[in-house]
Amino acid sequence: MISKDIIVEQLKEQIAGFKAEAKSKTIGFVTEVGDGIAKIAGLSDVMMSEMLEFQTKKGVIFGVALNLEEDSVGAVILGDFTEIKEGSEVKTTKRILEVPVGEAMIGRVVSPLGEALDGKGKIETSKSYPIEKIAPGVIARQSVSQPVQTGIKAIDAMIPIGRGQRELIIGDRQIGKTAIAIDTIINQRGQNMKCIYVAIGQKESKIAGIVAKLTECGAMEYTTIVLSGASDPASLLYIAPYAGTALAEYFLDKGEDVLIVYDDLSKHAVAYREISLLLRRPPGREAYPGDVFYLHSRLLERACKLNKEHGGGSITALPIIETQSGDVSAYVPTNVISITDGQIYLEPDLFYKGNRPAVNAGLSVSRVGSAAQIKAMKKVAGKMRLEAAQYRELAAFAQFSSDLDASTRAKLERGKRLTEIFKQDQYSPLLVANQVLIFYALINGFLDDIAVEKIREFEMGLYEYARTNGKEVLGEIASTGEYNEEIENKLRSLIGDYKSTVIGS
Amino acid sequence: MKITPKCYAQSLYESVDGKTAFEVAVISKKFVELIAKNNHLTKANAIIGEFIKIWNSEKRIVEATVVSAKEMDGETVNRLSDHIAKLSKAKKVALRTKIDKDILGGVVITYGDKMIDLSLKTQLVDLQDRMVKYN
């Protein structure tokens, strides 16, 4: 028990040790305010993107200096700007805009400024990272070599994503862009990956749904959601992806692998356009400011795979872009396509035909390619890609002719089964070993005698059967990633056994 | 080119600098005629504001405000004025004093866009912050 004398003694010590510091501070006054933008006179030694403190009746509100002009400073206000009046006092903080980072962020829903939004109490962190940082250079980097398992068959087979890659997900509204990202996050369970989902201008109801789903799947244990909702000011939407990346860099510096989803960058560009126009920067194409390319390139360049000497961590970025009625040649989509290492293109026609996820295999690419696949997958997926390409080519012109030769018909039949296999329900990512199994079955003709309508049933049955009878071989594929004759034989007999015992053919 | 209040103020300063009182009266009359002709009379207040700024910076005069809780005696004001002159490297300090009971004690000095906060209130807040943080 501590006696009160000790406490009093300590207090006295503290007070004696406390020295009032008389520091000269730079101040300014708001001359103009509105629409989340403030013009400030004074502040002679302000830095670019320095945090500013606006003194209001309801306490301090932060802002960021974005325009340094001859005798005024243009700043965006992060938060409620209705309290700031003309003549309000503004102080500099001598700090470039930074956000708190740390392990405590995992499993939480936070604002771009690191405040808790999920009602689970204050987040205690000891470190802060600047939101803008120069991306790692050539010396620190290494080429992408490890896979990110998305758990989506069509993507893992044909458009493999590697750790440290930037893969764009692009498509119209309501077509399953977010679904792909969320499935990927769910599938990172036990894969040694930290996930960050940055929601930019999303409906809060949608985010609530995502959080509930991730919690249900146990994915919140390694996921942070950075939320700037549709009702937040443009300034928060603008900093959200940078804040998310700052958190990702904290884990990167510890040598960990991070997956970050930006949902979506079209809204981010729109928010930046709003800020720029209000700051009276000249508009360019589609009224976006001149530096809208730099806006996204400096963000996505921070995705990287570091080499061993620099910790060996990685940041994989999955930016999302929403197109307007399939127009990929608009300004922002073309920009982001050229920045990223490939794109997953989702097509309305496929979606309404029932091919979900509606990945267009022809227009989707991954510039990293098979370097980011395990050996077993590489072996089977190479043939899959070929089959898919041949089917696309044939299907287009087979509609016009009725009698085809046997080999063409066989190819078409194979192709139909392939599209059937690529269909996958939402929230049901598939283990890589199971993917190898079903692809192996397809390319070796085990599915040719199954009716197309029965394929999915067959597939589900096969997984069920393999779970008990093929544990060993699937485990081997999953753990080593190897592929050899022995494994091939085991796969062959597993599928053969399944067909003869369960299907009975 | 658009003529800004700053341009007017700068040219006014250059034309009146070092002139006698009589000359200044003539120049200012002409100047008002000029802005009336250019239809810029509405900008008169802005021009006057800019002119004061230019005059002060050219003559190295600094405007300063000292806020205190109680009335200060003449000697204190003079010493503060000298100190501000030293800090801001100005020749002359145009000092204004204000009384604000809220700061409890001490002074708050503002000159240009600099502020030195020596008020008792701020010190108490700082002390509180520190004690909350460390205990």
pLDDT band at B90 (very low <50, low <70, confident <90, very high): confident
Contact criterion met (CB below 8 Å) for A56 and A80: no
* Strand, helix or coil for residue A82: coil
d(Cα B30, Cα A161) in Å, to the nearest integer? Answer: 75
Nearest by CB to A20, which of B114, B123, B131?
B123
Q: Which pTM value belongs to this model?
A: 0.89
Report pLDDT for A369: 76
Report pLDDT for A392: 87
Contact criterion met (CB below 8 Å) for A240 and A196: no
**Cβ within 8 Å, pair A24-B130:** no
For residues A378-386, give the mean pLDDT.
89
Rounded to two decimals, the ipTM of the complex is 0.75
Nearest-CA residue of chain B relative to A24?
B116
Of A183-187, A429-433, B54-58, the poorest mean pLDDT is in B54-58
Report pLDDT for B121: 86
Q: Average per-residue pLDDT in chain A?
A: 92
Q: What is the phi/psi pair of residue A166, to 5°?
A: -120, 110
Which chain A residues have any C-beta within 8 angstroms of a chain B C-beta?
11, 14-15, 18, 20, 22-28, 42-44
**Cβ within 8 Å, pair B113-A27:** yes
Is B32's Cβ below 8 Å from some Cβ in A? no
Contact criterion met (CB below 8 Å) for A213 and A97: no
Contact criterion met (CB below 8 Å) for B57 and B92: no
pLDDT band at A256 (very low <50, low <70, confident <90, very high): very high
CA distance A24 to chain B (A): 5
Q: What is the DSSP string of A93-146?
A: EEEE-EEEESGGGTT-EE-TTS-B-SSS-----SEEEES--PPP-TTTB----S
Nearest-CA residue of chain A relative to B134?
A14
Strand partners, A169: A320, A344
Report pLDDT for B113: 83
Is B134's Cβ below 8 Å from some Cβ in A? yes
Q: Is B104 left (phi over 0), alpha (psi -120 to 50) or beta?
A: left
Our answer to whether residue A166 is catalytic in this structure is: no
* Residue pointed to by tokens 């490890």: A146
Report pLDDT for B128: 83
Of A20-29, A259-268, A440-449, the poorest mean pLDDT is in A20-29
Q: Which two three-digit tokens encode residue B62?
A: 């600094």
Task: Name the catalytic one among A367, A385, A392, A414.
Answer: A367
CA distance A347 to chain B (A): 53
Is B123's Cβ below 8 Å from some Cβ in A? yes
CA distance A29 to chain B (A): 9
CA distance A56 to chain B (A): 16
Contact criterion met (CB below 8 Å) for A209 and A249: no
Residue A262 CB-density burial (10 A; 0-12 exposed, 13-18 middle, 19+ buried): buried
Nearest-CA residue of chain B relative to A25?
B115
Q: Which two three-digit tokens encode residue B50?
A: 């800019």
